[in-house]
Structure 1
């Protein structure tokens, strides 16, 4: 598996959110302090942060390394740089959770802000090199199978539909039994894409394992770069989404997963522009004729 992009001030926040579910309970305390009050963490020595978090200095160092830094000093520098560029303030890190008594005007503002942030975080941490490798694999694939369930299943269907529109053989599977049936029949040169917010969904994880054993190129779209799904896949595209009380993880990540699908789709369409343009024109014309043929006609007066 190719390691995700090294953390920068632009993608540090997304990296912390992404690995949070996979951290140990003590490391999660450190990570939440980083998200809730990055300026204080940037100013704190490791001894001060240990006292404030109630965790050991060794836990803090391990957390920094999980985030991609060699130690706590480098993490502090990155947090300071994020604050200096306006990317580490609490407005960015904590967009505001939804409360049961929030007026709809606040619901609109908070959801909009969270969705916009998910898009921004995904763009900041996505590696163009990694994306290019995925686009290249899909462009030359005999077949593309996409696996996902629940909200991620909707993303899987969107990806398959988009690729189908430009002439690729693409199929989405939201049932584990059908996914496994498909996965074991894949061959080298085929591509399997697994979509899972947590990266731990068995219905996606096992078909992706089988697809890899069959020789297919494997791609993960997930929030968690340290998940089991990321470990079994040859390519990992990291999405970002902040979980809140009324927006659980799968829903929070959907917009960023769809963004990654659009990146892949446009990249493939660019590389196959002659074929994809023809396919888009043909499918658009077919749908247009269908709608015209079955459009209700006004009845003539008797």
Structure 2
């Protein structure tokens, strides 16, 4: 698989608020001077950021990149494509401006989420879902919308799955999961306590676990064997957790679904045709039921 050559700046933006002091100083320097940073060595970056070469190495580990060279390659890839600054909405803005802002926001969210996808983790997720007897999906709030989307898509291709909006029902169901099952937890922040608990219960039951969260270590991601990430740092405060993060989650779910579909192409087409025909019958008129008198006359 090819090495990732983008998303360096997006990863730094995602992680900056969760980094310890010295690592955060380095991240802030790189975000402020990205062009200059890609020409520095580990030692030089440590000096100009007022930290140390050891702190640069620790930063790379925190960012989950292989090395400082890997991070520089990703940043260089970002610099080849202009990243527009995105602003939050303001009072009484023109509707035309609002439409443009939201569109740019959505495009950037999808692109940066795509750049963050780890193909090894995505492949593992496809494999365990294909082998699963039952998939339990759980998300809270806006992430619950994404969880419902997983259920709707997977059920159409004959993957037995359940979404429980109630945490008590979810805990009860997941407690009875087996090693053949998968528990899929979705949390934009990665720190939703209820989602973490459902994954923990699933793990204790022996089920395989998948998380879909913002990039990096988090309460939810740390409890899952397989991690899928989204870009959420560019979510404006006014719409926090409601727009870009949801789009990014649905984007990853679409990727996961399509990878499963192409792996089992003929089966998937068959299942989709069957479910499509079943839905079409819902619009057909039901046969008129005969009355008791009509029944007697026909006999």
Interval of TM-score (by shorter of Structure 1 and Structure 2): 0.7 to 0.9
Contact kept, 8 Å, 1:7 with 1:67, in 2: the verdict is no
Contact kept, 8 Å, 2:140 with 2:165, in 1: the verdict is yes
Task: Name the counterpart of 1:38.
Answer: 34
1:49 aligns with 2:49: yes
Change (3 A) 1:80 1:290: closer
Q: Which has the larger radius of gyration?
A: 2
- TM-score normalised by length of structure 2: 0.82
1:13 aligns with 2:6: no
Deviations 1:171-197, CA, capped at 9 Å, x for gaps: 112222112112211100101111011
Change (3 A) 1:292 1:224: same
Deviations 1:132-175, CA, capped at 9 Å, x for gaps: 21111111110001110101000000001110111111111222
- Cα distance in 1, alignment partners of residues 239 and 33 from structure 2: 22
Contact kept, 8 Å, 1:22 with 1:224, in 2: the verdict is no
Deviations 1:53-86, CA, capped at 9 Å, x for gaps: xxx4465553343224577676456534542xx1
Task: Name the counterpart of 1:121.
Answer: 112
- Cα distance in 1, alignment partners of residues 70 and 228 from structure 2: 25
Change (3 A) 1:73 1:268: closer
- Cα distance in 2, alignment partners of residues 282 and 81 from structure 1: 44
Moved more, 225-234 or 67-76: 67-76
Change (3 A) 1:61 1:7: farther
- Cα distance in 2, alignment partners of residues 130 and 262 from structure 1: 15
1:163 aligns with 2:159: no
Question: Secondary structure of 2:283's partner?
Answer: helix
Change (3 A) 1:144 1:109: same
Task: Name the counterpart of 1:270.
Answer: 262
202, 221, 224: which one aligns with 2:215: 224
Task: Name the counterpart of 1:67.
Answer: 63
CA displacement at 1:37 relative to structure 2: 4.6
Change (3 A) 1:293 1:33: farther
- Cα distance in 2, alignment partners of residues 154 and 18 from structure 1: 22
Deviations 1:105-150, CA, capped at 9 Å, x for gaps: 2211121111111111121121222212111111111000111010
CA displacement at 1:293 relative to structure 2: 3.1
Task: Name the counterpart of 1:131.
Answer: 122
- Cα distance in 2, alignment partners of residues 218 and 268 from structure 1: 17
Change (3 A) 1:72 1:143: closer
Aligned length: 280
Q: Give the unaligned 5+ runs of structure 1.
A: 51-55, 295-302
- RMSD, matched Cα: 2.7
* Residue pairs, 1:197-208, within 5 angstroms: 197-208=188-199
Deviations 1:190-242, CA, capped at 9 Å, x for gaps: 01111011111011000001101111110011113211211111101111132
Task: Name the counterpart of 1:53.
Answer: none
Contact kept, 8 Å, 2:6 with 2:77, in 1: the verdict is no
CA displacement at 1:250 relative to structure 2: 5.1
